[in-house]
């Protein structure tokens, strides 16, 4: 298949391109210089020339805290930019996979969120991503909305890499224990997207690694696996703390666990448990470290 990936130099975009290429697809990965999604004419031109069967739209304004004081900037990329991709996709009849977020929910509920539950984003980032979802749904007939959460991979900065570093440097670490969600390994998400895009099973999907934990529990597991897989010398002792201990400009959902109902009801294999995803990531991380030595 001919697949165009936006945001191809981002954390998810890089692994999306790699996984799709490995599966034999003809992939055009576009970074911001090659395709600025806020420029409608450029979107139409690039998509019109390549004529992809599928567009995997990973580009986004992802600076959650900065978005609170840069409302226009966040909406320009996440809403208007996504509108542009939807218009360009529709013009060539391409399927559009819009990568979205758990931040479309307020996180106040006790239970995991279903795909068709009411959204209620609290911060600018979540609101702008929800606007991107709505524009995608309105303007593109062949759409998949894929909401994911707590993403990490080999490329770029993320929670796992930060904890690996701090765990080996600090004597003690406080980590939030009152926010729960599902960590997601980029490669596992890309594998799922590669299955989804072959089908015409359009709609909204929640796609993270299976299972859930708090950030504190996630860190416990990172440290435990890092000792085994990386033979890392973890010096930090861990202490649970609350969200209130680390005030941030943007609100975080306390519960961002999502049901994978669409995955189940459409006959897809569920994405493996988050602990198994973490092991696979650490093995990839270890291999990448020994390559650079
Ligand atoms: N990182 C996370 O924990 C989560 C991410 N997501 C979503 O996953 C997707 C991928 O996120 P990441 O790879 O983690 O983020 P990232 O910040 O690493 O990558 C986003 C990419 O978009 C590009 N971009 C920004 N403005 C652009 C523009 N005007 N034109 C073209 N490209 C532009 C950036 O250059 C960057 O390479 C995003 O849609 C994000 O909202 C959803 C839930 C959690």
Q: Is residue 8 part of a domain?
A: yes
Q: Is residue 163 part of a domain?
A: no
**Which atom of ligand 1 is closest in space to residue 151's alpha carbon?**
3
Mean per-residue pLDDT of the chain: 97
The burial class, CB within 10 Å (0-12 / 13-18 / 19+), for 233 is exposed
Contact 280, 188 (CB under 8 A): yes
Give the DSSP H or E segment for 143. strand 143-148
Assign 291 a pLDDT band (cuts: 50, 70, 90).
confident
Answer yes or no: is the C-beta of 54 below 6 A from any ligand 1 atom: no
Per-residue model confidence as pLDDT tens digits over 200-256: 999 999 999 999 999 999 999 999 999 999 999 999 999 999 999 988 999 899 999
Q: Is residue 54 part of a domain?
A: yes
Nearest CA to ligand 1 atom 14: 11
Average pLDDT over residues 65-92: 98
The first and second tokens of residue 257, run together, are 């666990």
Per-residue model confidence as pLDDT tens digits over 177-188: 999 999 999 999
Answer yes or no: is the C-beta of 7 below 6 A from any ligand 1 atom: yes
Contact 125, 66 (CB under 8 A): no
The secondary structure of residue 236, as a DSSP letter, is P
Q: Find the domain containing 201 and state its range.
A: 2-158+182-211+256-273
Answer yes or no: is the C-beta of 150 below 6 A from any ligand 1 atom: yes
Strands 180-181 and 213-214: antiparallel
Whether the predicted model's global pTM rises above the 0.95 cut: yes
Answer yes or no: is the C-beta of 29 below 6 A from any ligand 1 atom: no
| Best CA proximity match to 4, nearest among 57, 64, 59 | 57
**Which atom of ligand 1 is closest in space to residue 99's alpha carbon?**
39
Per-residue model confidence as pLDDT tens digits over 15-27: 999 999 999 999 9
CATH number at residue 74: 3.40.50.720
Give the DSSP H or E segment for 213. strand 213-214
Q: Is residue 90 part of a domain?
A: yes
Q: Does the annotation count 61 as an active-site position?
A: no
ipTM: 0.99
Q: Is residue 146 part of a domain?
A: yes
| Best CA proximity match to 156, nearest among 270, 16, 4, 3 | 16
pLDDT at site 246: 87
Please tell me the total count of domains within the chain. 1
**Ligand 1 pocket check: which of 60, 80, 83, 184 to mutate, most ligand atoms within 8 Å of Cβ?**
60
């Amino acid at each position: 298949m001919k697949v165009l990936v936006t945001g191809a130099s981002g954390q998810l975009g890089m692994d999306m391109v790699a996984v799709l290429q490995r599966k034999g697809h003809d992939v055009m990965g576009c970074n911001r210089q090659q395709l600025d999604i806020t420029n409608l004419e450029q979107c139409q031109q690039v998509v019109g020339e390549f004529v992809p069967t599928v567009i995997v739209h990973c580009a986004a304004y992802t600076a959650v805290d900065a978005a609170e004081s840069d409302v226009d900037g966040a909406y320009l990329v996440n809403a208007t930019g996504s509108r542009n991709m939807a218009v360009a996709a529709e013009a060539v009849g391409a399927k559009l996979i819009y990568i979205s977020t758990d931040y479309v929910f307020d996180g106040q509920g006790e239970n995991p969120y279903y795909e068709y539950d009411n959204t209620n984003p609290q911060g600018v980032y979540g609101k702008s991503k929800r606007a991107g979802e709505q524009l995608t749904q309105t303007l593109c007939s062949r759409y998949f909305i894929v909401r994911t959460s707590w993403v990490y991979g080999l490329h770029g900065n993320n929670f796992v890499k930060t904890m690996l570093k701090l765990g080996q440097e600090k004597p003690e670490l406080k980590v939030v224990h009152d926010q729960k969600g599902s960590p997601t390994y980029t490669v596992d998400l890309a594998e799922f997207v590669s299955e989804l895009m072959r089908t015409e099973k359009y709609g909204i999907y929640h796609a993270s690694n299976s299972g859930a934990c708090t950030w504190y529990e996630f860190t416990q597991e990172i440290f435990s696996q890092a000792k085994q897989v990386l033979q890392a010398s973890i010096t930090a002792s861990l202490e649970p703390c609350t969200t209130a201990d680390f005030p941030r400009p943007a609100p975080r959902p306390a519960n961002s666990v999502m049901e994978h109902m669409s995955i189940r009801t459409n006959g897809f294999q569920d994405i493996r448990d988050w602990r198994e995803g973490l092991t696979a990531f650490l093995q990839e991380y270890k291999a990448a470290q020994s390559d650079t030595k």
